[in-house]
Amino acid sequence: MEIKTGNLLIVKFMGGKIRKGCEDSTDPIYEFDNPPKSTGWCIGYSEKWLSGKDFVEDCYHTSFDWIMPVVDKIENTGGDNNEFNIFGNRVRLGDEEFVAKTKIEAIWNAVCWWVSLHCA
């Protein structure tokens, strides 16, 4: 999946609402009621917004601060098919397995797959 497309799916799943522009504009700005908090061990974000350029540059696919709350939200929907098992660069989500070059890429792929099935 294209990075911008996947990150936009996640933004919607996490409750991002357009603050400026529109979805089809070049650089829409999404606002979050509860933005991810920086844990200091990866790229940190404290802003309450995310702009369209960030969907490709720095966002869910590059920051554990952003992607792990998504994992938590998916797991909190309940059921074994929503439980993430992460082993290095391999992720099992339900009956699906995702392998990538890095751990965050495998998690991101699993999240995008789940969100596209359940929220598209």
pLDDT tens, residue by residue, 12-33: 898 887 776 566 666 667 777 7
pLDDT at 107 exceeding the cut of 90 = yes
Q: What is the total count of domains within the chain?
A: 1
Q: Output the pLDDT for position 26.
A: 60
Distance between CA atoms of 114 and 112, rounded to whole angstroms? 5
pLDDT tens, residue by residue, 39-80: 443 444 445 567 667 666 778 898 888 899 899 999 998 877
CA distances from 19 to 23, 27, 106 (A): 10, 11, 30
> Which range of residues forms the domain containing residue 52?
3-119
Distance between CA atoms of 77 and 95, rounded to whole angstroms? 17
Which pairs with CB-CB distance under 8 Å and at least 24 residues apart come from 78-85?
82/114, 84/110
